[in-house]
Amino acid sequence: MKTLQANDERNLAIKNRLEEAFNSISGPRVGDFVRMLDGTLRRFTHDHENTIQVTPSGAGGYESFHLTKSGRVSYSGGLDTGISYKHLKETAEFREGIFWFFDSDLPGKDRGIEFSIECRVYREF
């Protein structure tokens, strides 16, 4: 996976469009962070009707968050149990989350471009 370069105008424009679409989504999003009851910080991984799943404890960075044109995130990696939306509260905190997209919007092997954007942080209660 390549890292997004500051002089890569085409991919910077793609990243900006993806980030704008991501930020247009309200509430907890796949890719956002949550401070669990035990104090660990995890990321949301899969959105269900009444709950949202999180990365497993000690996942070790083997997760992949693909940011799509719709602003939704496709997650690949392990899943832990879900948290009810009614047990989540948004904080004023933001944290950099790592995502990826295809270089120049052209899918293919070894074409991933990694970048980070600000994500919301929630807390479980």
Among candidates 117, 61, 64, 123, which has minimal Cα distance to 92? 123
Token pair of 24 as six digits = 């247009």
Is the pLDDT at 61 greater than 80? The verdict is no
Q: Provide the residue ranges of all domains of the chain, joining segments of one domain with +.
A: 2-124
| Residue 58 pLDDT level (bands cut at 50, 70, 90) | confident
| Higher-confidence position of 67 and 57 | 67
Question: What is the pLDDT, as a whole number, of residue 63?
Answer: 85
What type of residue is 102?
F
pLDDT-derived band of residue 81, with 50, 70 and 90 as boundaries?
confident
pLDDT at residue 60 in the model: 62
Percent of the chain with pLDDT over 70: 98
Across the range 21-50, mean pLDDT stands at 96
| pLDDT at residue number 59 | 62
Long-range Cβ contact pairs of 40-45 (< 8 A, separation 24 or more): 41/95, 41/121, 42/80, 43/97, 43/119, 45/75, 45/77, 45/79, 45/80
